[in-house]
């Protein structure tokens, strides 16, 4: 079967690693995510990953509690490194070669962010996890994910969430929320749909990068998309 994509950037929220916990990392959820990524890897797909840090620390929330915004964002970046190392460990237990590249220099823990090296890893079918966001405060990991996707020339950015795709309101609060199967970036901006932050959406639009939103918690969803089946919402 011909695959739709050769190289993808998978975006995961830090909160997705919490499971039913109020904070931290749920080993069962990490195992589930690892299994889903393993299935995609076995298809021969080149995979880059960006994980948020909201399960450990969120810079914006910290600033509301009196922590300097720049310091809070830096702490949030470090939280993404913790999550990246946790996922790397889980993937390597399954024999999948993985590299963590950090936008903040920390040579003893991760490789420095070097896009040419990252692309070479991907070509060798190693999974590359991009940690520490953009390396700068005031930017979300959504923006970092889109930036990395553009830099590695990914065919698509895939955002794994805990809902089926994009709705006109929160489906977990509104059972009558309208589901969108396909959207344009102009519609996302016009309808003010909270898919990603404005900077990330604008970057996708300007670089003609497709974005897929799907439920990562449902078994085989990622593989189904890569097999060409219609799952979630496509924005292009």
Residue 190 in domain: yes
Contact 208, 184 (CB under 8 A): no
Residue 229 in domain: yes
Strand bridging mode 179-180 / 156-161? unpaired
Taking only the tens of pLDDT, the chain with its 236 residues reads 345 899 999 999 988 888 888 888 999 999 999 999 999 999 999 999 999 998 888 756 666 778 888 998 999 999 999 999 999 999 999 999 999 999 999 999 999 999 999 999 999 999 999 999 999 999 999 999 999 999 999 999 999 988 899 998 888 888 889 999 999 999 999 988 888 999 999 999 999 999 999 999 999 999 999 999 999 999 99
Residue 27 in domain: yes
Beta strands in the chain (DSSP E): 7-12, 46-51, 98-102, 111-112, 127-131, 156-161, 166-167, 179-180, 182-183, 211-215, 233-235
Q: What is the CATH number of the domain that holds 172?
A: 3.40.1160.10
Count of the separate structural domains present in the chain = 1
**107 alpha-carbon distance from chain centroid:** 23
Residue 1 in domain: no
For residue 231, the enclosing domain spans 7-235
Residue 37 in domain: yes
Residue 60 in domain: yes
The size of the chain, in residues, is: 236
Residue 2 in domain: no
pTM over 0.85: yes
């Amino acid at each position: 079967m011909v695959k739709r994509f050769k190289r993808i950037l998978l975006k995961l929220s830090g909160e997705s690693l919490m499971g039913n916990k109020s904070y931290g990392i749920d080993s069962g959820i990490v195992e589930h995510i690892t299994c889903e990524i393993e299935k995609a890897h076995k298809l021969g797909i080149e995979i880059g990953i960006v994980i948020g840090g909201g399960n450990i620390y969120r810079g914006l929330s910290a600033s509301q509690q009196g922590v300097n915004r720049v310091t809070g964002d830096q702490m949030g970046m470090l939280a993404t490194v913790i999550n990246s190392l946790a996922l790397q460990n889980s993937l390597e237990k399954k024999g999948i070669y993985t590299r963590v590249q950090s936008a903040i220099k920390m040579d003893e823990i991760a490789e420095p962010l070097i896009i040419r090296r990252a692309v070479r890893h991907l070509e060798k079918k190693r999974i590359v996890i991009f940690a520490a966001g953009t390396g700068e405060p005031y930017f979300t990991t959504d923006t970092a994910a889109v930036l990395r996707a553009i830099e590695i020339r990914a065919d698509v950015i895939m955002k794994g969430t805990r809902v089926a795709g994009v709705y006109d309101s929160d489906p977990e609060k509104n059972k009558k929320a309208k589901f969108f199967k396909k959207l344009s970036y102009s519609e996302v901006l016009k309808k003010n749909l909270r898919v990603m932050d404005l900077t990330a959406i604008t970057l996708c639009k300007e670089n003609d990068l497709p974005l897929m939103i799907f439920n990562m918690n449902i078994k085989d969803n990622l593989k189904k998309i890569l097999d060409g089946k219609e799952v979630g919402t496509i924005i292009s």
